[in-house]
Structure 1
Amino acid sequence: MRILIPIVGSRGDVQPMVAAGLELQRRGHTVLVGAPPNFVDFVANTGLAVRQFGPDVNALYSSPEGQRVLAAGNSAKMLAMVSRQMREYADQMDDELIDIASGTEMIVSITFSEDRSVSLAEALDVPMVTLQTYPSSKNSCYAPPSSLPHHWPTPRFVNRGLWTVADKLRTLLFRKYINNLRAKLDLPPTKASTEAALIKRGVPEVQIYDPALVPGLAEEWGAARPFAGFLWFPRSAREAIGELAVQHAEVLQWIADGEPPIFFGFGSMPILDFGSVIGLIEQICERRGQRALVGVDGAHVDMQALKTGPNVKVVDNMAHDLIFPHCRAAVHHGGVGTLFESARAGVPTLVCSVSMDQPFWGHQVEQLGIGAHIPFPKLRADTLSRGIDIVLDDQTRSRAEALAVTIRERGDGVPRVCDIVEKVAAG
């Protein structure tokens, strides 16, 4: 079967879809991935066929405007910025999708590509499955990400009402783009929301995160929105994209030469002065007798200019699956992919959330007692210090280790996703 996997988003969206694509290819299917331009080589190096599809959102977020909006933590400004990018790229994105869809017999989409994918599935009259990286459909357990402060205790009926409002707002903002695509596909215009369109076509909405992170949601949704769990990216694929174990030997030796460090991953955060932040980290860790491993993850940092003591090590890109099991705690932006790696490793996590679903995951980390949450605009010396105290607490570590056992026992969700895809394809 010829399966199209159109992906929009960042690495946290690309990586699990590639993991699923590799397994579908291993099972004998012909897989074509549509990937943002900055991930075309990433996908190709794993051995999957790939064509360009969608905008480079990393370029948007790393632009001066993007950095200002992210640092402000204003969801309305973030939505406006993304909407402007959509206006500029929408026609090209439609044309790219139509072009790569030639010969498609099955579509496997992700959260940020499902709106276009469901219209494409309708036009081609092919089956579809969508994979969701966070709760993005109506439920009474949790409010939509960024709709309200997540620490507010909202009643169940309020949560459902907020989802209705969010669904209508999303439809209002993006309907014209969907109808432009539908016109190109010779389909009539629609007023239906993406969720309504998915339900109408009977598209399974598979959740690719662990139900233990969202208590009550699996019970509410049942078989209608099944949980596959996290999709594990195989080490062979990591090696193929350059995350070689041998390249981590020096870092792992540094870790082994002392107490387990606290990992700080700030590459996805809008930090303008890395030197000051690393100095702050050094001070906080020194007072607690801790070491720090700082990953800048491709951010524009003059590594030679950074001066640190022997208990702080700054490196560029690191494979989280190799590093996290050797750390005392992890501090990062709370993207679901990075959160999975820290949770699987049993590492207490301090989420410094920036945007999108990150504040939601930060709140869940806090509620489950496996770490702490600081919205990025509130990241200061005192808040970071308090967060570090929480993740170093023995009870926090105990709860994080217990969750890790649950995640590891559930195992890789890739086979479960592929079983669903094949079942849907078979009718």
Structure 2
Amino acid sequence: MTLLTMGTFGDVRPFLALAYGLEERGHVVTLAGPENFEQYVRETYKRPYASLGLNSQQVLQSEEGRRWMASGDSKQFLKQMAKITHESRFALERDTEAACLDCDIIIAHPLQVFYACMLSEKLNKPLIIANLFPISPATSAFPHFLARSKKLPFGFLNKATYRLVNSVYEKGLRDDMNEWRVRLGGLRPLRGTLYNKLEHQKVPVMQAISPTLVPRPSDWADTVVVTGQWKIPARYVPEQEKAALPEDLKDWLDAGPAPIYFGFGSLPVLEPQKIIQMVMEISHTLQTRAILASGWSEMEMGGVPLPDSIRMISSANHELLFPQCSLVVHHGGAGTTHTAAESGTPAIICSTYADQPFWGERVTELGIGDHIPFPSLTKEKLLQSIRKLQAPDVRQRATEISKRIKMETGLTAALNFIEKQIPTAPVYKN
């Protein structure tokens, strides 16, 4: 089997879990993803990794990448994704084909769906889609997250947003895909809409999301399953990732009340000093402690020392840290959203792009969090949300949802689904 993924490490990690699980069941697996994670996976996890010709961190940390991510503009997001794919198309085409040549089935991340479909058709390989966020198939239960985050009043309008987004996205990729189809040989130009074909051909879809956070829509076909998160089995997690929190951080946590966690993951913060100043002012106003995680952003205070009530860290094990926090403020990535929900800690999602607004609306609807789009983030809005989420009934709901998520067995459900689909999963046909 070949597992194709793309994006940040939050997009690689679930596929790494899937690879370990499939290998334990006797399957031969090729894991392929962004080239910037090759060394990390090979050296830290000691397992093979096929590099696909794109450095996702380099893209996100570029000046242009930082601007379009921070804008929160979905149209700009689709445009930039098409541009990135276009500029890297020859390396991506070469590397994805090499990764899939000898496999018996292709399992693809949403950002690899077009490549996977072309290779499924050319190489006659069955296909399974693996979503880390509910991007497909279309549903009347909620809109496509790139169209809007809030539900529309009628189900057919929600469903229509998928056709709209898919048509825009496919239009940006069609010329490159048709060019590649010519080079692959024997493939006629694309016809119709790829996502419609995937539904009509009943290509299996796994949603690696919690059914507690996103109950399965009733209008999805039997070939679509909501499994729960895919977590790497503890026996494969490297010791440095299983290690306890740093002693100095543990000492700081033990020395006072639970802090508010502020972290924006791989989101490049354009004006980090403004974020630091905002955290300092909120901490002072609420007389609370705070942890500020810089992630990929280069946060500096310009030589001004932080008060003892604020701790800045580059990163930390969220599974260990979040339960010790009173509140989590984060960017809204799928992985961080699930981890916060499982910890039982209320969360404020400050979203910018892709599926982040969707998760912001989900935690709001469940009553365990709030949503503030990052471009409109202010100290006043953040203070209002924090005070709202400090209510005892919010913590009680968060605790109840945490218990339900902890009972889910996402990886096992995914493995069972894959093995059930192997005999019947279709080859994509144009």
TM-score in same-fold range (> 0.5): yes
Q: Normalising by the residue count of structure 2, what TM-score does the alignment of the two structures yield?
A: 0.92
Moved more, 345-354 or 69-78: 69-78
Which residue number corresponds to residue 368 of structure 1? 366
The alignment partner of 2:251 has SS state of helix
Which residue number corresponds to residue 413 of structure 1? 410
Question: Is 2:263–2:329's contact at 8 Å kept on the other side of the alignment?
Answer: yes
State the alpha-carbon separation in 1 of the partners of residues 245 and 393 from structure 2.
34
Which residue number corresponds to residue 381 of structure 1? 379
Which residue number corresponds to residue 115 of structure 1? 114
State the number of aligned residues.
421
Higher relative contact order (CA 8 A, sep 6+): 2
Q: How does 1:23-172 map to 2 (within 5 A)?
A: 23-44=21-42, 45-136=44-135, 137-148=137-148, 150-151=149-150, 153-172=152-171
**Paired AA for residue 267 in structure 2:** M
Question: Is 1:21–1:48's contact at 8 Å kept on the other side of the alignment?
Answer: no
Q: Report the Cα offset of residue 246 of structure 1.
A: 4.0
The alignment partner of 1:211 has SS state of coil
Report sequence identity in percent: 27
**Paired AA for residue 412 in structure 2:** P
Which residue number corresponds to residue 177 of structure 1? 176
Which of 419, 422, 425 is equivalent to 2:419? Answer: 422
Question: Is 1:275–1:306's contact at 8 Å kept on the other side of the alignment?
Answer: no
State the alpha-carbon separation in 2 of the partners of residues 268 and 409 from structure 1.
29
Which residue number corresponds to residue 188 of structure 2? 188
Cα deviation digits, residues 212-264 of structure 1 (max 9, x gap): 2234x433325231111111234444435x42414533322321221111111
Q: Report the Cα offset of residue 366 of structure 1.
A: 1.1
Q: How does 1:274-293 map to 2 (within 5 A)?
A: 274-293=272-291
Question: Is 1:22–1:48's contact at 8 Å kept on the other side of the alignment?
Answer: no
Q: Report the Cα offset of residue 104 of structure 1.
A: 1.1
State the alpha-carbon separation in 1 of the partners of residues 81 and 127 from structure 2.
26
Q: Is there any run of 5+ residues in structure 1 with no aligned partner, and where?
A: none
State the alpha-carbon separation in 2 of the partners of residues 222 and 256 from structure 1.
49
Cα deviation digits, residues 132-159 of structure 1 (max 9, x gap): 12221211011111313x2364311111
**Paired AA for residue 119 in structure 1:** M
CA RMSD of aligned residues (A): 2.0
Question: Is 1:33–1:48's contact at 8 Å kept on the other side of the alignment?
Answer: no
The alignment partner of 1:220 has SS state of coil
Question: Residue 335 in 1 paired to residue 333 in 2?
Answer: yes
State the alpha-carbon separation in 2 of the partners of residues 222 and 97 from structure 1.
28
The alignment partner of 2:95 has SS state of helix
Which residue number corresponds to residue 428 of structure 2? none
Q: How does 1:218-233 map to 2 (within 5 A)?
A: 218-221=217-220, 223-233=222-232
Question: Is 2:132–2:208's contact at 8 Å kept on the other side of the alignment?
Answer: yes
Q: Report the Cα offset of residue 329 of structure 1.
A: 1.1
Question: Is 1:171–1:192's contact at 8 Å kept on the other side of the alignment?
Answer: no
**Paired AA for residue 50 in structure 2:** R
Question: Is 2:352–2:374's contact at 8 Å kept on the other side of the alignment?
Answer: yes
Q: Report the Cα offset of residue 196 of structure 1.
A: 3.0
State the alpha-carbon separation in 1 of the partners of residues 92 and 354 from structure 2.
21
Cα deviation digits, residues 236-293 of structure 1 (max 9, x gap): 44435x4241453332232122111111113433323323322321221222232111
CA change 1:237–1:375 in 2 (3 A) is farther
Question: Is 1:371–1:390's contact at 8 Å kept on the other side of the alignment?
Answer: no
CA change 1:234–1:292 in 2 (3 A) is farther
Which residue number corresponds to residue 10 of structure 1? 8
State the alpha-carbon separation in 2 of the partners of residues 38 and 249 from structure 1.
30
The alignment partner of 2:217 has SS state of helix
Which residue number corresponds to residue 206 of structure 1? 206
